[in-house]
Structure 1
Amino acid sequence: MNITITDSAQEYLSGLLDKQGIEGMAVRMFIQQPGTPYAETCLAYCRPDEVNETDEILNLPKLKVFIEKNSVAFLDEAFVDYATEKMGGQLTIKAPNAKMPKVTPDSPIEDQINYVLYSDVNPGLAAHGGEVKLVEVIEGGVAVLQFGGGCQGCSAVDLTLKEGVEKTLIEKVPGLTAVKDSTDHTVTDNAFM
């Protein structure tokens, strides 16, 4: 795990923690909706009773940072800095792998699927105003997907699902056996026909 939190950011965050007046207060770092175009890097207070045993711990000179297990791969190469400005200061968080993490054959199947959807599938669907996202992986290695934008209600969605998305995912994600569409295609408001 390669996360950089500069001295100025540590100083700033440590000051915020001290103001909370709670012994053992730390910082939690995580990604909301990791591996998607909507990924957001977050820092939050972490009380001692909110620590999960699966958290990765980053012990820094001025503070302790708990990293959610599911966010670790997405936070690789993250950089947190604090710059003082005339009107106060600015905390900056950059996580270049939040939307598209580095994946390996050992990465969880969900991460591998999201990576292929984000890098290979969605750029092609975007030409029609569409997108697809992973809802869950169910027993038997079946990915449940949800189409949105111009794909929802599109008359060619079955062909896109079987010949495009499923073929690509099964080819690139070991252990995946099939895909299933959870989208309600009776809604055709924005459909690309």
Structure 2
Amino acid sequence: MSTITITESAEKYLAELLEKQNTPGIGIRVFITQPGTPYAETCIAYCKPGEQKAEDTALSLASFTAWIDAVSEPFLEDAVVDYATDRMGGQLTIKAPNAKVPMIREDSPLNERINYYLQTEVNPGLASHGGNVSLVDIVEEGIAVLQFGGGCQGCGMVDTTLKDGVEKTLMERIPELKGVRDVTDHSNRENAYY
């Protein structure tokens, strides 16, 4: 069973679009380009009979079938396709909170787990200041070497952010992590938040 939700309003809207195609049995295909990366884009395309792939998951709706791309499916967990009307007409929206996030398990490699928490918990907070942080390397058995960018680079509060924010979050989530180290050149203060 797929974990993507297509609301009634979205199903009705898509059914109307599909009807205009005059192709019996046409459905839609939901997929993500570059899943698990910051560049992930969730897409819906027409899917004529026979265009679906053998490994796709069929999601049977009242008026058509939605084919879910097998590679994209784990990244479509908790995704919602909705259609909302407004003064300008309406808009189909796809919210896929896990599209850009690499899937991890407890036995995933340490670097994948660090990247996961940086993308899902740390960077959304830093983004409000135009900043971000990324993993450069893991050294000395469990020290994560990090690089700050954007508004964090050259920011006077970066040490506090590193210790009280980033390190605390990562060490709570990943018990075997021993600490973090910043290798950013903070002498460039051009875009610094503080």
Q: Does 1:74 align with 2:75?
A: yes
Q: How much does 1:88 deviate?
A: 1.5
Identity of aligned residues (%): 55
The equivalences for 1:1-193 within 5 A come to 1-104=2-105, 115=116, 118=119
Q: How much does 1:3 deviate?
A: 1.3
Tell me which structure has the larger Cα radius of gyration. Answer: 2
Unaligned 5+ segments in structure 2 are: 135-194
**Contact 1:35 1:115 (C-alpha < 8 Å) held by counterparts:** no
What secondary structure, in the 3-state scheme, does the structure 1 residue paired with 2:20 have?
helix
Change (3 A) 1:43 1:4: same
**Contact 1:73 1:101 (C-alpha < 8 Å) held by counterparts:** no
The alignment's TM-score, normalised by the length of structure 2, stands at 0.57
Q: 1:135-165: per-residue Cα shift (whole Å, max 9, x none)?
A: xxxxxxxxxxxxxxxxxxxxxxxxxxxxxxx
**Contact 1:81 1:93 (C-alpha < 8 Å) held by counterparts:** yes
Change (3 A) 1:42 1:99: same
What is the aligned length?
190
Q: CA RMSD in A?
A: 5.5
**Contact 1:27 1:46 (C-alpha < 8 Å) held by counterparts:** yes
Q: How many angstroms apart in 1 are the aligned matches of 2:69 and 2:16?
A: 22
Unaligned 5+ segments in structure 1 are: 134-193
Q: How many angstroms apart in 2 are the aligned matches of 1:112 and 1:28?
A: 30
- Whichever residue aligns with residue 57 of structure 2, its letter is E
The alignment's TM-score, normalised by the length of structure 1, stands at 0.58
**Contact 1:51 1:66 (C-alpha < 8 Å) held by counterparts:** yes
- Whichever residue aligns with residue 64 of structure 1, its letter is T
